[in-house]
């Protein structure tokens, strides 16, 4: 594809990725920009698409889709009304933009916009695994010189973690448990620390993830735990509370795994009046300990992507508090994108990136 104008990686179905040349995007709205993609990150939803062709909506032979939504790049071209960015600026990309007119948008919750155009969302919104990507200028965030383009890819999952922790309303002194030590879970733990949590416990079934958590969060505040899969969710929660001397339980529990057993344990591990936030996407129907939640009067919240101010705070944390470079464990060439999805499927490393087309 050396002579391609806009080389792109499209998914036609499970295990069916094809590299094609798509048209160059054109600026029709004066507030839009075109970004030359530098890197695209891989997350769990990408793996799900690779394995199943979608989540709620699916790609098909007649409606293939360019993959990718965690991305960084360099401004290639700007619309006539854009004054905040210029060609050559390095940016982190917020990969979804709303209608700006509906009730959720006007109330400040644009992440819930029913007309959201989110990268790599079937049936027709193409993603960032391409050379040139078009989006509104205000959904591009100029990054400082101290932040690399590889680190800037992590701003998107970091914004998810910021949104999660803000929903959890973490206060100084809170004890926080995060189920799942993948990228989002690790970042939730780190942001919880920055919000003043006195103890942050990462729970996962992979020792490699927990080892990274201990180094990244710091052993003065961070703790780790591995559940015993032969025990029930309730017994695992009780064991964790006992082993870590949590007394009546945690103040905050966050599930970033999407695993049914983790969601259940998260409710059991909370003290009375605690708060539970669901950040990970899993099966649509699960068994949930609703009686436990009622009896403890637990506040339960769903978390969906990110909202106003989350990307700005994420960039601040990335440039002043967090070492995002430690997350990047593998970078694959654009032409080997499926290998990046397979790497993540196998649970290898922390964050795998796909380099943009040359």
Domain that holds residue 135: 5-147+324-355
Q: Which residue bears the tokens 């993830």?
A: 209
Omega of the bond leading into 150 within 30 degrees of 0 (cis)? no
pLDDT at position 1, please?
A: 60
pLDDT value, residue 123? 86
* Domain-located, residue 313: no
Q: Do 253 and 344 have their domain in common? A: no
- 110: tokens are 């644009």
Considering the domain architecture, whether residues 177 and 116 belong to the same structural domain is answered as no
Asked if 9 and 142 sit in the same domain, the reply is yes
Verify that 232 and 129 share a domain, yes or no.
no
Q: Which pLDDT score, from 0 to 100, does residue 219 have?
A: 87
Q: What is the pLDDT of residue 284?
A: 87
Cα 292 from Cα 274, distance rounded (Å): 12
The pLDDT averaged over each successive group of 10 residues in the chain (358 residues) is 85 98 97 98 95 93 97 98 98 97 97 97 94 98 97 98 98 98 97 98 96 94 96 97 96 97 98 97 91 97 97 98 96 98 95 96
CATH of the domain at 257: 3.40.50.720
Considering the domain architecture, whether residues 215 and 174 belong to the same structural domain is answered as yes
- 154 domain residue, yes or no: no
Q: Which residues contact 213 (CB under 8 A, 6 or more apart)?
A: 181, 186, 189, 202, 204, 222, 224
In a domain, 83, yes or no: yes
Counted domains in the chain: 2
The single residue listed with the structure tokens 């048209």 is 23
Residue 340: CATH number of its domain: 3.90.180.10
C-alpha dihedral sign at 152, 156, 161, 167: positive
The verdict on residue 351 lying in a domain is yes
pTM equals 0.96
């Amino acid at each position: 594809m050396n002579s391609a104008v806009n080389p792109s990686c499209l998914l036609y179905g499970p295990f069916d990725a094809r590299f094609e040349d798509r048209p160059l995007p054109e600026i029709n709205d004066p507030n839009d920009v075109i970004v030359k993609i530098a890197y695209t990150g891989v997350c769990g939803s990408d793996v799900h698409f690779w394995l199943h062709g979608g989540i709620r909506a699916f790609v098909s032979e007649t409606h293939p889709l360019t993959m990718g939504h965690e991305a960084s790049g360099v401004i290639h071209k700007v619309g006539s009304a854009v004054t905040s960015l210029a060609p050559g600026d390095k940016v982190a990309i917020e990969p979804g933009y709303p209608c700006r007119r509906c009730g959720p948008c006007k109330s400040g919750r644009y992440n819930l916009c029913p007309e959201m155009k989110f990268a790599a969302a079937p049936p027709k919104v193409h993603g960032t695994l391409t050379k040139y990507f078009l989006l509104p200028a205000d959904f591009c965030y100029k990054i400082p010189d101290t932040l690399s383009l590889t680190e800037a890819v992590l701003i998107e999952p970091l914004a998810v973690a910021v949104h999660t922790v803000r929903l959890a309303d973490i206060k100084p002194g809170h004890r926080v448990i995060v189920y799942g030590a993948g990228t989002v879970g690790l970042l939730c733990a780190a942001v919880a620390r920055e919000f003043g949590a006195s103890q942050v416990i990462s729970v996962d079934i992979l020792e490699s993830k927990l080892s990274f958590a201990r180094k990244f969060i710091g052993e003065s505040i961070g703790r780790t735990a591995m559940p015993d899969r032969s025990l029930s969710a309730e017994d695992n929660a009780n064991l964790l509370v006992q082993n870590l001397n949590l007394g009546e339980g945690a103040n905050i529990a966050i599930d970033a795994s999407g695993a049914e057993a983790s969601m259940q344990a998260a409710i059991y591990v909370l003290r009375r009046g605690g708060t539970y936030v669901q950040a990970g996407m899993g099966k649509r129907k699960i068994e949930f300990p609703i009686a436990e939640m009622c009896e403890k009067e637990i506040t339960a919240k769903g978390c969906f992507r990110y909202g106003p101010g989350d990307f700005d705070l994420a960039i601040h944390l990335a440039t002043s508090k967090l070492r995002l470079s430690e997350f990047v464990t593998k970078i694959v060439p654009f032409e080997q994108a499926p290998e990046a999805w397979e790497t993540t499927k196998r649970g290898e490393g922390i964050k795998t990136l796909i380099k943009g087309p040359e």
